[in-house]
Amino acid sequence: MIGKPNDQGSLVQLVSLEERVPPDHFLRKLDQVLDLSFVQDFLSPAYHPSQGREGTAPELAVRMILLGYLYDWSEVRLCEEVRLHAGYRWFCRLDFHDSVPDRTTLVKFRGRCREHGLWEELFHRIVAQCGDVGLLSGRHLMADSTQVAANASIKSLQEIQNGLTQAADRLCAGGEEPPKPDKDDDHHHTDFHGKRYSNATHRSASDPDAQLYRKGRGKEAKLSYKAHNLADTKSRVIVATSATLVSGEEARDGAQAIALLDQLARRHGIVPKTLCADTLYGTAETITDLIASGIDPHIPLLAGKPPAIPVWRRRTFNLSQFRARRDKLERAKALQRASELAATRGYQISQKLRHRIEHLYGEAKQSHGLGRARFRGLAKMNEQVTLTATVQNLKRLVQFLDNPHKNFPNKAKARPNHPFFCLYLPFMGLLPLARVIFGLFAKGPFFQINQMALQNG
């Protein structure tokens, strides 16, 4: 007999959120490793103790924002998904009758967290947790950067002489928003053919921090930012991250890698043994700084062959000339040391494993929305990079704690459970000795006499 739909629902429904979430669901595993007990005390200086109405719980807002980055949702869709999905309500500690915070509440909360550095604190706590459970070693690191498209159109470029510099300065200082380009303005419908645009002459009206950047010759120039990551080679845990402009000294890959290494040493006390990167990091300044810090650079030299060690015929008593000679000698020795490391076995292994950081960027862009900036401004871009790295580290941590032997098979080796294994183990030590005896017998005089007798018939 065919069933019929029940159009009339029951007046009272007793539903438990705990029963709606499967025991092996990913959010359950994530909830076990995620510790947000510090958020309430960390953000207490951002709220007035007595004035104003009671706001949204900080831990609830943090859990919602992490869900948005984990599943690559906008804030509008995030509120809808949490409102409809029982598992997301369980993760956010919301009951069926609890109201979900709206988008404007999350926007204001993000700004408050950005001002007080909550996202950086959460990221570093996850990195420390990875080290406590044995996932992170920190001996071998890899560095790389990637281009992130800005949330601005190329048509928003305007000449700096049109009063756009003052508007951009007000935006960077936290003042009023810059004027949006008028639809009837001539600059909005500018014909780009035959004209040259550069960061020195033009700036975006919608996002003044975004700059023109192209990855190579023949590539299209786009308004972009740069994301820099420093990750552990074995576990693929991102230990340091930042976002910069595409031009300037801070945007240089080598300089940003040194800054991230200093940040890692100050915050976690981790000084790696080796650092692996591509050729863009192989400048003389970067190689010299790494070797001075006691880090072996597994990096191809940008100039190819290292220069010869300089030798001067006469001594100098000029202080500036003496310092110039000393710096030149240190750079030459550092490049020679990097060239010697390129012939080692460890260097070859590091270069083979360097593609793992490319996989991290691919995961971040395809699954977590790092292919394009969510918001506008360098500070918000840095927030997006930090939260993206946070959810990636949480995924690594959940995977490791769920099955550590699968992630690190070398640590999971055990002796076979066989009753005759204890008897078989001593004979394994006699095998090398038997090989040595057989080698001496094969090359001895008795073996040579037998060979001569066989040859003479």
pLDDT single digits (tens) 279-293: 999 999 999 999 999
Band of pLDDT at residue 307, cut at 50, 70 and 90:
confident
What is the percent of the chain with per-residue pLDDT over 70, rounded to a whole number? 79
In three-state secondary structure terms, 214 is coil
pLDDT at res. 378: 94
The answer to whether residue 375 scores a pLDDT higher than 70 is yes
pTM for the predicted model, two decimal places: 0.80
Contact status, residue 386 vs residue 119, Cβ threshold 8 Å: yes
In this structure, is residue 168 part of a structural domain?
yes
Band of pLDDT at residue 184, cut at 50, 70 and 90:
very low
In this structure, is residue 236 part of a structural domain?
no
User: How open is the CA angle 55-59-64, to the nearest 5 degrees?
Assistant: 95
Helices (H), 43-179: 58-70, 75-84, 86-91, 103-116, 118-132, 164-172
112/35 same-domain check? yes
In this structure, is residue 32 part of a structural domain?
yes
Q: What mean pLDDT comes out for the span 230-249?
A: 93
Q: Which residue has the tokens 């990091």?
A: 281
61/112 same-domain check? yes
Q: Residue 241 forms beta bridges with which residues?
A: 229
From the list 290, 287, 279, 298, the residue with the least C-alpha distance to 335 is 287
Lowest average pLDDT, out of 52-61, 128-137, 358-367, goes to 52-61
pLDDT at res. 166: 53
The answer to whether residue 112 scores a pLDDT higher than 60 is yes
In this structure, is residue 348 part of a structural domain?
no
Which residues form the domain of 203?
155-209
In this structure, is residue 179 part of a structural domain?
yes
In this structure, is residue 38 part of a structural domain?
yes
- DSSP letters of 218-287? TPPPEEEEEEEEEEETTT--EEEEEEE-SSSSTTSHHHHHHHHHHHHHHHH----SEEE--GGG--HHHH
The answer to whether residue 450 scores a pLDDT higher than 80 is no
Q: Which amino acid is at 298?
A: H
Band of pLDDT at residue 367, cut at 50, 70 and 90:
very high
Q: What mean pLDDT comes out for the span 421-437?
A: 54
CA torsion angle 330 229 366 204 (round to 10): -90
pLDDT at res. 215: 79
Q: What mean pLDDT comes out for the span 440-444?
A: 52
As a whole number, the mean pLDDT across the chain is 83
In this structure, is residue 346 part of a structural domain?
no
Pick the more confident residue, 368 or 430. Answer: 368
CA torsion angle 24 26 28 32 (round to 10): 120
